[in-house]
Amino acid sequence: GAVVSQHPSWVICKSGTSVKIECRSLDFQATTMFWYRQFPKQSLMLMATSNEGSKATYEQGVEKDKFLINHASLTLSTLTVTSAHPEDSSFYICSAGGRLMSSYEQYFGPGTRLTVT
Amino acid sequence: DAKTTQPTSMDCAEGRAANLPCNHSTISGNEYVYWYRQIHSQGPQYIIHGLKNNETNEMASLIITEDRKSSTLILPHATLRDTAVYYCIVRLSYSGGGADGLTFGKGTHLIIQP
C-alpha cells in the first residue's frame, strides 16, 4: 500500500510557458498533500502544504501566484508552474499524508524533473 | 522540529551491517525520530520511526538512546541498492488529520562498496 504517483516523470518546456504536475495517492485518501523542490546536490525544501478543498499554505519565499496548487480531491493534487523560467528547473516531489492502519504518515511520489530552456 | 546532526557520508561493505548515527540533543518529549532515504533521482522513501523504544521492521532497525538525544539506524545486511542519502528527522507524530511538511537536513550519503 501507500503508493503515490506523479505525472509526468520529466518535462522540458520553453521559458514563459506553464507546466502542470499531477500527484496522486493510489491506494489511500490523502487529507494533506505537500510539494517539495530539490535543486541539484541540495536537500528537499518544502514549498507548500495543501488540504483537500482549501487553499494551499506556502512557505516563506515561495510565490503563490507562480506555483499554483490545486487539491480538488482526496487523491489528486496538482502543481502548476506558471511562466516558467530556467531558474525554476528543479526536481519537484510531492508527498501525500494519510492514515494507513493506525498511524498517519507521509508517502512520497517519485518526483518530476522540470527543465526550462 | 528539533534539529538533527548526521555525518555527511559513510562507506559500508556489501553484506555488512550499516550503522548510521544521528544526534538530536534538543528533541522534545513528544517528538519522534523518523528516517527516510532518497535513492538518486527518486522521491524519499520512509524507512522507520520510533519514540523511545527500539524498533525493527523489514527494512531496518532503529536504536534510540535512553536519553533520546541520539539514535542509530541499522541496515543489517547492506546491499548495493541501499546506496542513498539517509535523512534523520525529528518531528511530532499525529493521529489526527492535520500534518506538517518535513524539514530535511543534508542527510548522510551512504555508499555501499562491493
Please indicate whether, in this complex, the C-beta atoms of A97 and B87 are within 8 angstroms of each other.
Answer: no
- pLDDT at res. B97: 41
- pLDDT at res. B77: 95
- What is the overall mean pLDDT for chain A? 91
Determine the residue of chain A that is closest to B49 in CA distance: A105
Residue A101's CB is within 10 A of a number of other CB atoms, namely 7
Determine the residue of chain A that is closest to B98 in CA distance: A32
- pLDDT at res. B26: 92
User: In the predicted model, is pLDDT for residue A53 greater than 90?
Assistant: no
User: In the predicted model, is pLDDT for residue B96 greater than 70?
Assistant: no
- pLDDT at res. A100: 60
- From chain A residues 9-68, the ones with a CB under 8 A of any chain B CB are 31-32, 34, 36, 43-46, 49, 59
pLDDT band of B114, cuts 50, 70, 90: very high
CA dist., res. B3 & res. B23, Å (int): 8
Question: Across residues B100-105, what is the average pLDDT?
Answer: 87
| pLDDT tens sequence across B8-49 | 999 999 999 999 999 999 998 888 999 999 999 999 998 999
| pLDDT tens sequence across A4-47 | 999 999 999 999 999 999 999 998 888 889 999 999 989 999 99
pLDDT band of B75, cuts 50, 70, 90: very high
Is B80 strand, coil or helix? helix
- What is the overall mean pLDDT for chain B? 91
CA dist., res. A33 & res. A52, Å (int): 8
| A48: Cβ contacts below 8 Å, ≥ 6 apart | A34, A35, A56, A57, A58, A59, A62, A64, A67, A69
- pLDDT at res. A27: 84
B109 in contact with A, Cβ within 8 Å: no
- pLDDT at res. A51: 85
User: Within 13 Å, how many C-alpha atoms sit on residue A48's CB side?
Assistant: 24
Please indicate whether, in this complex, the C-beta atoms of A43 and B106 are within 8 angstroms of each other.
Answer: yes
| CA torsion angle A30 B55 A111 B12 (round to 10) | 180
User: In the predicted model, is pLDDT for residue A64 greater than 80?
Assistant: yes
E strands, chain B, are 9-13, 18-23, 31-38, 45-50, 55-56, 61-64, 70-75, 84-92, 108-113
Please indicate whether, in this complex, the C-beta atoms of A44 and B104 are within 8 angstroms of each other.
Answer: yes
Please indicate whether, in this complex, the C-beta atoms of A103 and B95 are within 8 angstroms of each other.
Answer: yes
All cell numbers assigned to A63: 510565490
**How far off is chain B from A45, nearest CA to CA, in Å?**
7
